[in-house]
């Protein structure tokens, strides 16, 4: 596995390129990674177009779920989107929070921040802002957010435990998150794990589903609930870029599964007493 700093630099470079691509180019690739498939359908993401607040120019086709649909956002909430890209989930969240709410998008890539700010200005949103930052060190004060969103981003981050610690810090007591991401059941081959394109394509950086849910539990979250789950089937013409024929047959006949999972969890309220009085 590459060192963390190399992974981050590779992801930043790749998503800087993606920021300049159109949605159609991204959709027929592996989560925007550029490993183009002749099977023209979107491998990862769901259709946003029916959701209120949807802005087509902000949808780069990079997600793997619809976390805003499940996030239980209320009018006046403060919402933070981790890995906000061109602003797609932020603008949908803003439709739920209304003018009295606040939406903050955090992204690692300067070109994505520039694109998101231009989209927000075009839409005339004064209560949506974008900050460049690493979600292992979220550039937001503690106990600020009512809701945290993220869509197909945590799999790109080397230290996922640190991200969940940061999410816990930034959420208010009683606040919650809804996160869509890629998880595994069974191990990817070493060949896939060592390929930068597959990492930037949201697959090689994914971890085991059980370990993913356990990170939430050990970092203090409660009411952990899988809101939606679907299998991700990577086309053969993409896999053939990374696997020889024997490896491909072994991969397809094995027990490995790649899933898009949307998970909800809460930061518990502290009751300030020795007994379990909060329940």
Rounded Cα gap, residues 146 and 72, in angstroms? 10
Q: What is the pLDDT of residues 235-258, one digit of tens each?
A: 777 778 778 888 888 877 877 788
Question: Does 175 or 277 have the greater pLDDT score?
Answer: 175
Domain 4-265 of CATH type 3.40.190.10 = no
Per the structure block, which two tokens stand in for 85? Answer: 């890209």
Question: What pLDDT band is residue 200 in, cutting at 50, 70 and 90?
Answer: very low
Provide the 10 A C-beta neighbour count for residue 29.
24
Question: How much is the pLDDT for 22?
Answer: 54
Question: How much is the pLDDT for 250?
Answer: 80
Q: What is the pLDDT of residues 33-71, one digit of tens each?
A: 444 444 433 456 678 888 999 999 898 877 889 999 999
Q: What is the pLDDT of residues 77-105, one digit of tens each?
A: 999 999 999 999 999 999 999 999 999 99
Share above pLDDT 70 across residues of the chain, in percent, rounded to a whole number: 77
Token pair 């499940």 is found at 70
Q: What is the pLDDT of residues 144-173, one digit of tens each?
A: 999 999 998 888 888 999 999 999 999 999
Question: How much is the pLDDT for 118?
Answer: 96
Q: What share of the chain is helix, strand, coil (3-state, %, to 5)?
A: 35, 20, 45
Residues 6+ apart with CB under 8 A from 71: 79, 93, 96, 147, 149, 176, 177, 178, 264
Rounded Cα gap, residues 188 and 186, in angstroms? 7
Residue 125 has pLDDT above 50, yes or no: yes
Residue 191 has pLDDT above 80, yes or no: no
């Amino acid at each position: 596995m590459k060192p963390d700093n190399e992974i981050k630099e590779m992801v930043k470079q790749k998503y800087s390129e993606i920021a300049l691509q159109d949605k159609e180019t991204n959709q027929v690739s592996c989560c925007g990674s550029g490993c183009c498939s002749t099977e023209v359908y979107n491998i990862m993401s769901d259709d946003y177009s029916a959701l209120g607040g949807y802005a087509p120019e902000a949808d780069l086709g990079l997600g793997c779920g619809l976390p805003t649909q499940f996030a239980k956002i209320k009018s006046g909430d403060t919402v933070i989107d981790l890995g906000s890209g061109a602003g797609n989930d932020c603008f949908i969240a803003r439709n739920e929070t209304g003018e009295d709410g606040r939406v903050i998008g955090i992204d690692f890539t300067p070109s994505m921040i520039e694109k998101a700010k231009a989209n927000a200005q075009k839409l005339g949103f004064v209560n949506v802002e974008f900050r460049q930052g690493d979600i292992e060190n979220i550039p937001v004060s503690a106990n600020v957010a009512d809701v945290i969103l993220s869509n197909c981003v945590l799999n790109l981050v080397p230290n996922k435990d640190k991200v969940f610690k940061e999410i816990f810090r930034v959420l208010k007591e009683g606040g919650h998150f809804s996160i869509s991401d890629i998880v595994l059941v069974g191990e990817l081959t070493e060949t896939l794990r060592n390929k930068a394109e597959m990492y930037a394509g949201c697959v090689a950086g994914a971890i085991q589903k059980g370990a993913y849910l356990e990170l939430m539990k050990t970092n203090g979250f409660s009411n952990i609930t899988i809101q939606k789950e679907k299998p991700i089937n990577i086309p053969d013409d993409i896999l053939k870029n990374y696997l020889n024929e024997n490896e491909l047959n072994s991969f397809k006949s094995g027990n490995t599964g790649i899933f898009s999972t949307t998970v909800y969890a809460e930061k518990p309220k502290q009751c300030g007493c020795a007994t379990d009085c909060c329940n």
